[in-house]
Amino acid sequence: MLLKIAKTTVLLAVTAATLNAGQFNAQAEKDRIELTKYTVAKFDEPFKNKYTFFPHSGDEELQKWTKNIPASGFKNGSYAYNATGKQTRDDLMEMPPFEENMEIGEELYNKHFKTCFPDPTTAGDYPKFDEKSKSTVSLGEELLSCAKKAGLKMGKKAWDLKGKKMANLQSYIALQSQEAGKKVNVKIESAAAAAAYENGKHEFYAQRGYLELSCASCHVQGAGQRVRLEFMSPITGGMTHFPSYRISKDSLRTLETRLGGCNRNMGEKPHKAGSDWTSDILYFMAYMSNGMDLSGPDVRK
């Protein structure tokens, strides 16, 4: 016990020294590296790893999965290892079902957002921590603020974080960011930002809802497991491909919309889009994809 206390004391001292040096992302970077290693190791040899990671998957299924996937490959979500699903996705991307959405988004950007949001290649920088308000701001929240400044009508049938106009606008910004070769580049530069990150991490791993599941149940431990006809994607690379066109819903959807759907699937009431809970958990999730290429907008079933 004394040894454990001593180790904890040393760890806290080292952490404090690191933070005093201004490296407020030290813990987040450690989390990202370890989670990336876990994901890469898990899918390195799926069939050989069956009894370690995939005890409920069939042998034939595992043998068809792509092997030796580099960390960068997980920007494709479950299609990183599901070659059959990726082929279907690639075929759809020949003539993306969201082309009209991007055209509408470009018109909206040029008409209302060019002044307030002058660089449309910065999708990977969000969520950001705003030091003035001491809160995390997602890309959608930043654009919503611009919409208000432009005098656009708010509301569920007009501009909101889950609305069609927001998804269309974000699809244009995501494409511009992708074509500019941008990567996920989320920063933690203060103690308050580090606290927001830790809150998001806590909520990601916390069990919630009547099913008592956590986000990690599906996207860490459960990554690669089948839920009905779909495979669960890993958290590594999970924030690179939004907004995504959901074939099952026949619509383009923002991160806030997808997160609300996950809440319902977990058996809990969806948290309000734009709340500290939503923004902080997206902050954590985005950091886990730091350094990865942006690939949105994209298609998912």
Question: Annotated active-site positions, please?
Answer: 262
Report whether 297 contacts 177 (CB < 8 A): no
Tell me how far apart the alpha carbons of residues 204 and 201 are, in angstroms, rounded to a whole number.
5
Report whether 255 contacts 243 (CB < 8 A): yes
Output phi, psi for 213, to 5 deg. -105, 160
The string over 46-71, giving b where at least 16 C-beta atoms fall within 10 Å of a residue's C-beta and e elsewhere, is beebbeebbeebeeebbeebeeebeb
Tell me how far apart the alpha carbons of residues 61 and 43 are, in angstroms, rounded to a whole number.
13
Of residues 250, 201, 229, the one with CA closest to residue 78? 229
Residues 6+ apart with CB under 8 A from 34: none
Kind plus residue range of the DSSP H or E element containing 257: helix 255-265
